Structure 1
Amino acid sequence: MSTKPPSLTERRKAATQLDIARAAAELFTERGPDDTTAEEIALRAGVALRTFYRYFRSKQDAVAPLLAGGADRWRERLAAGPGAALPDALERSIAASLTPADAEAAEGLRWTRGLLRAAERDPALRAVWYRVNQESEDRLRVVVAELAGPDADPLEVRLAAAAATDAIRIALETWAETDAPAEGAGGPAALAVRCLRELMGGMRLLGPDVREPGTAP
């Protein structure tokens, strides 16, 4: 799948949005969304308030780029990965994406955990989280369709994209409720793989040996 590289203007815009998102995440983690204003986020990010509102509609909306960043990198990894059966490709890419390979990845998981904990008490922040996941699922369907091939059942493709997205979402939410480390049996990677296997257990995309109910072996 080929995509046009972002322009310099687009990269600068994305960098500014991410700076604002990190500032919002810091303040939400420190104080909670209720005790944080858009003005304070803009000040922490080093931008004018008008710049904040150029990119975001609300203070909760400001963390969307931070929450979406991991999903964007995961889809890129999945699309660029070596050829493999779709379930294996999904599982391997999910496990790799949710296992912190460096300090930046570990920081991203810490931010996600803090934001999900804050979202428990803030419906608007939860709405941003759900929207980010829905948008990720919509984009993932395109990747899954290409990996599955032209003969794949569109319903199965849609189910696979939904299963993978929900596996990651549920794993991160479950992990955020605990103090488990980012790696190991209680970490998001292990939880997401477990969720994915449960959710995809009945799909024909698992391989040619999976038959319709009632068919002879």
Structure 2
Amino acid sequence: MSAAHPIVRPTLAERRKQETRMDIARTAARLFAEYGTAAVTAEQIASESGVALRTFYRYARTKEESVEPMLAAGAQRWLAEIAAGPHRLPIADEFESAAVRSLKLGDSPDDLEITRGLLQAMETDPALRAIWHRINMEAERDLHRTLASLVGSQADLFQLRVTAAAAAGAIRVALELWAASNGPAEGPNSPADLVVRCMRQLHVAD
């Protein structure tokens, strides 16, 4: 029997970098949601994050790109939930429950409101919208790879590709609908509720 692979934990320096990157992302997202992207500068984001402008540009090439960690965090939690499941293609209920758990384990009510404002700001900001679509495309590719790993050599490549696209698309659409409708954080028309409804509408897996 082969030895189990040791768990590789991030170093203290790596954790601090991750925390700094997320602090910058939250600050940028809050400012964009409150004032709009056009009115916010990289210098303002850096100042309110408590870092030098030079440090800001080590974490993001543009002010819009700085929000990426915050927008990607939910997808990363969801992928981790899927990857921890049985070594087979998840059924619809498992996709739904993984999405709901990742939402409940994630953003605070304040973060959800910031995310709402950020998604609303994207309607008039092509650069910010491009970041959102890139994050979702990467999440779809990561989900496809995760599903292929779970299924193994018996994978139906067509089914995996379509399932990954439908599942990732359901979450994106749910969050956009929630932001546009000013729905609550919990209960009917919340992100979790809309994710389940979107997945059922799109018929993710049988």
2:126 maps to 1:127: no
2:96 maps to 1:91: yes
> Hey, what does 1:71 align to over in structure 2?
75
> Hey, what does 1:10 align to over in structure 2?
14
**Matched letter for residue 22 of structure 1:** R
CA 1:44 to 1:57, structure 2 compared with 1: closer, same or farther past 3 Å?
same
CA 1:56 to 1:7, structure 2 compared with 1: closer, same or farther past 3 Å?
same
What does 1:31-42 align with in structure 2 at a 5 Å threshold?
A: 31-42=35-46
2:177 maps to 1:174: yes
CA 1:178 to 1:190, structure 2 compared with 1: closer, same or farther past 3 Å?
same
Counterparts of 1:85 and 1:163, CA distance in 2:
14
Counterparts of 2:138 and 2:13, CA distance in 1:
23
Counterparts of 1:107 and 1:6, CA distance in 2:
27
Q: What is the count of residue pairs matched by the alignment?
A: 200
Cα deviation 1:42-91 (Å, max 9, x = unaligned):
00000010111111111110100000011111111222246786123212
CA contact (8 A) 1:74 1:97 kept: yes
Counterparts of 2:52 and 2:31, CA distance in 1:
17
> Hey, what does 1:28 align to over in structure 2?
32
Q: Which has the higher contact order (CA 8 A, sep 6+)?
A: 2
Q: Secondary structure in 1 aligned to 2:186?
A: coil
Cα deviation 1:87-127 (Å, max 9, x = unaligned):
232121012223x358x433332222111011111111111
Percent of aligned pairs with the same amino acid: 50
- The TM-score normalised by the length of structure 1 is 0.84
2:191 maps to 1:188: yes
Q: Which range is displaced more, 78-87 or 163-172?
A: 78-87
Counterparts of 2:192 and 2:149, CA distance in 1:
24
- RMSD of aligned C-alpha atoms? 2.0
2:40 maps to 1:47: no
**Matched letter for residue 162 of structure 1:** A
Q: By how many angstroms is 1:153 displaced?
A: 0.3
Q: Secondary structure in 2 aligned to 1:150?
A: helix
Counterparts of 1:149 and 1:141, CA distance in 2:
12
What does 1:135-174 align with in structure 2 at a 5 Å threshold?
A: 135-174=138-177
CA 1:195 to 1:174, structure 2 compared with 1: closer, same or farther past 3 Å?
same
- Can you give the 5+ residue segments of structure 2 that lack an aligned partner in the other structure? none
Counterparts of 1:58 and 1:101, CA distance in 2:
29
